[in-house]
Amino acid sequence: MFASVIVDIPSKSVNQVFDYRVPSGMEGLIQVGHRVLVPFGPRTIQGYVMSLDETTDFDPARIKEIARTLDIEPVLTEEMITIAMYLADYYVDQYISVIETILPAALKANYKKVLRLADSYTQEAENALAQVSNGSEVEIKRLDPDALKTLSPYLKSGDIREETVITQHTKRKMALAVHSLKQSDVDLSRAKKQQELYDVIDASSEPVFVRDLVNDGFSNALINTLHKKGLIAKVEAEMERDPYSDRVFTSDPPKVLNSEQQHAYDRITSSMDAQEAKTFLLHGITGSGKTEVYLQVIQKVLDEGKTAIMLVPEIALTPQMVNRFKRRFGDDVAVLHSGLSHGEKYDEWRKIKEGRARVSVGARSSIFAPFQNVGAIIVDEEHETTYKQGDRPMYHATEVAKFRSRYHDCPLILGTATPSLETFARSERGVYERLELTMRAGTKVLPEISIVDMSEEHRTGNTSIISGTLEAGIRQRIEKGEQTVLLLNRRGYSNFQICQSCGYVPMCPNCDISLTYHKSNRSLMCHYCGYESAVHRTCDNCQSDEVTFRGTGTEKVEEILRDMFDTEVVRMDNDTTRRKGMHEKLLDHFEQAEVPILLGTQMIAKGLDYPKVTLVGVLNADTMLNLPDFRANEKTYQLLTQVSGRAGRHELSGEVIFQTYNPTHYAIQLAMENDYRSFYEKEMAFRRLARYSPYYFHVLFTVSSEDIRKCLKATTHIHDTLVQEVSDQSIIVGPSPSPLERINRQYRFQIMLKYKREPELLKMLNNLDEHYHEAYRTEGISLRIDVDPLVIM
Ligand code: ADP
Ligand code: ZN
Ligand code: ZN
């Protein structure tokens, strides 16, 4: 028996399967999807079995044997193996990097270099090694230079050799537990507390964790007494790391659906019954009850003994969504997101793999949840760019979702109030079935939206970042004990520092961007590479002391609001939410202490649902409009609509104010009128003229290098290759400097390919990728190929 194995080396030259012999003792044991250790050159490395076969195309005499298997059950299903192949091809990437994205990080190999005694060695060598280690091997990393020097003669003589060993991260978390020994003549009638404890332990069919018993008020001494009496035994039992274990969720019964919700539910479930791999666009305004539809569809999936995957843009930003799922489905829900530790993620993953959880709620990578028998897949807020991974492999979760929907013949539901243009266009063409929810659920209505022209505001003498209208609105809410949410898409205190005498603005030495002033730690920071420097009181250029700060960030607005309204403000941005769990803490505090104002960057635009929020203000609706990206209008429309949706979701009605310098811009006007259809038509006209997606597909090539000449040379080469290889219906834009010309000392140039049909494209992209893989090693030039890019920076 031979196994085709993908090995754990992220290099283009080994992006293929290698054949290994399955040792006779392992036949039947090794299955497709197993992790195995295999010899590769002088080393032993981890690999994944992709297929098993009786024959091989290679010379059987020269084929090496698999050293050992790491799993009892395969970690990759056949489905995941096919997905890995498909994604690696589509996004021009390597199999191994996709496989490692699919699996929880805990299953990845961890290599360490050690020195250990060779098969034959001298006493001297053994003594020398014993000096620096307490066993027969030592990790090289842990040796100081002197120790290494002492050992080096033995390395040369061959008494000691260097080896790479693999360790796994997947230590299961164990804890002390006890179980009853089921003695027949237990009499504890004279020791009431002991009897009580014994009853608890005896009643449980599984070992009970000592920690839990202690939490319930039984002392360690008491537990030991039962142990000494021979009534119970102690064992190490495996513990699940459940991040939600200490939380109680009150149950939440299904609501009676309104007629639009019912229609959507019926369409989706009838496609489920027919076992169709159909994609639905659930286009519902904010608060129209999309989530309620998801919940009821999932209920039906579970009733039929199947499983469901629910994707959300980012869990940390939507704690309320997790709560709703936990309240409806309890322990059936596994939660997967980036905030979990490796161990926690691995535990949730195993819960799914072993069938102990049947619904997953999670961010992008949870689309790889190892479910069998999937009955429905839901992508909430489908327009969000976080669904596309920014690093390799640059996959889009919705692409994977479509694949899985076809694999399982189940419906895929894309939900949003503001569909991406691509998705809406497909629903127009009938590729997706569109389901509309046009009313807010229950008796609620959409908030009133108005626009304040900030240039007008300045002309009439108010230069503050808070307009008169907004100020009055906030005051009113404070008086009535209601709450306001304010969006400002700019963190830090001031945008930048400027010298009034020579105009000098301190820039990041590594990137092509001005530094942002952060008052709390009196520093200038680069938001791209993290560079930080102290603020200087005098200009670095002319030594003048007339340096000031311009532009307003969240940190400064927080101060302005405190002064203006003399009230508490909760601020949410990357600075205040860096620590784990801070999102939720700040939001809980905002809700429970009824803090009058929540100020935040984009991260507050999604998912929040608080009954007392009746006013939403957007301090600068234009920030997104000015991005150098053809999707700037679309992003603006989406953000404004999302954040508006936070107001008046319950009994109290809501109001929204957009402050802008472009009051007549259609993205802002139509967001105010809540007219998605008109926005879609206007934007499509622009995309057609400018020949952008969805009329064309895109591939973005970004070349970077510390040496600007190398960059130019490479972009010219790529440009020439494209000109030669693509049809004349395709358009090549560039080369031009990227909107961010330099990040982290790397110069960046880009080329955009726009095409409708290029059958040979994939092959060409792979060739380019391969070529530049080599160039990266030899010349420090890197090429990033982004297929279907969402961000053009
Ligand atoms: P969306 O996901 O579209 O923003 P939600 O599902 O969060 O909307 O619904 C908004 C609010 O309306 C929630 O508080 C939800 O509990 C409530 N709701 C949803 N559907 C119904 C219904 N059929 N009857 C009454 N209330 C509902
Ligand atoms: Zn100066
Ligand atoms: Zn920088």
**pTM of the predicted model as reported, rounded to 2 decimal places:** 0.82
Of 555, 546, 573, 560, nearest to 495 by C-alpha is 555
Q: Which of 251, 252, 258, 292 to mutate to test the pocket of ligand 1 (most atoms within 8 A of CB)?
A: 292
Choice among 5-9, 118-122, 632-636 with the minimum mean pLDDT: 118-122
Cβ–ligand 1 contact at 642 (below 6 Å) = no
Cβ–ligand 1 contact at 307 (below 6 Å) = no
Q: Which of 258, 291, 295, 414 to mutate to test the pocket of ligand 1 (most atoms within 8 A of CB)?
A: 291
How many angstroms separate the CA atoms of 53 and 63, rounded?
14
- Chain centre to alpha carbon of residue 179: 40
Q: Which residue has the higher pLDDT, 144 or 48?
A: 48
Residue 754 Cα to ligand 1 midpoint, Å, equals: 41
Asked if residue 369 lies in contact with residue 346, where contact means CB atoms within 8 angstroms, the answer is: no
511 is in an annotated binding site: yes
Would you state the pLDDT for residue 216? 80
Q: Is the Cα dihedral 301, 302, 308, 311 positive or negative?
A: positive
Beta bridge mates, 73: none
Asked if residue 411 lies in contact with residue 279, where contact means CB atoms within 8 angstroms, the answer is: yes
Of 514, 536, 510, 512, nearest to 523 by C-alpha is 536
For the chain, how far is it from start to end, CA to CA, in angstroms? 49
Cβ–ligand 1 contact at 763 (below 6 Å) = no
Structure tokens at 8: 């754990």
Is the pLDDT confidence value at 781 over 60? yes
Cβ–ligand 1 contact at 291 (below 6 Å) = yes
How many angstroms separate the CA atoms of 228 and 178, rounded?
13
Cβ–ligand 1 contact at 641 (below 6 Å) = no
Confidence of residue 346 (pLDDT cuts 50, 70, 90): confident
Cβ–ligand 1 contact at 148 (below 6 Å) = no
Would you state the pLDDT for residue 170? 52
Asked if residue 303 lies in contact with residue 228, where contact means CB atoms within 8 angstroms, the answer is: no
Point out the ligand nearest to the CA of residue 286.
Answer: 1
| pLDDT, tens only, 363-406 | 999 999 999 999 999 999 999 999 999 888 999 999 999 999 99
Q: Which residue has the higher pLDDT, 792 or 681?
A: 681
Residue 433 Cα to ligand 1 midpoint, Å, equals: 22
Would you state the pLDDT for residue 2? 93
Residue 558 Cα to ligand 3 midpoint, Å, equals: 25
Give the helix/strand (H/E) hosting 97: helix 95-102
Of 469, 417, 393, nearest to 642 by C-alpha is 417
Query: Domains in the chain, start-ordered, CATH in brackets?
Result: 2-108 (3.40.1440.60), 110-168 (3.30.70), 174-238 (1.10.10), 259-437 (3.40.50.300), 448-491+553-686 (3.40.50.300), 697-787 (3.30.70.600)
Confidence of residue 589 (pLDDT cuts 50, 70, 90): very high
Phi-psi label, residue 442: left if phi above 0, alpha if psi -120 to 50, beta otherwise: left
Cβ–ligand 1 contact at 721 (below 6 Å) = no
Of 128, 561, 533, 587, nearest to 317 by C-alpha is 587
How many angstroms separate the CA atoms of 92 and 767, rounded?
10
Asked if residue 107 lies in contact with residue 170, where contact means CB atoms within 8 angstroms, the answer is: yes
Cβ–ligand 1 contact at 602 (below 6 Å) = no
Of 656, 641, 620, 626, nearest to 454 by C-alpha is 620
Question: Which letter does DSSP use for residue 199 in this model?
Answer: H
Asked if residue 555 lies in contact with residue 492, where contact means CB atoms within 8 angstroms, the answer is: yes
Helix (H, G, I), strand (E, B) or coil at 517: strand
* CA-417 nearest atom, ligand 1: 3
* CA-261 nearest atom, ligand 1: 23
How many angstroms separate the CA atoms of 524 and 546, rounded?
17
Average pLDDT over residues 468-485: 95
Give the helix/strand (H/E) hosting 478: helix 468-480
Of 578, 383, 565, 397, nearest to 483 by C-alpha is 565
Phi-psi label, residue 357: left if phi above 0, alpha if psi -120 to 50, beta otherwise: beta
- Tracing tokens 């301190």 back to the chain, one arrives at 506
Choice among 307-311, 436-440, 581-585, 611-615 with the minimum mean pLDDT: 581-585
Residue 581 φ/ψ, nearest 5 degrees: 85, -5
Structure tokens at 480: 């009535």
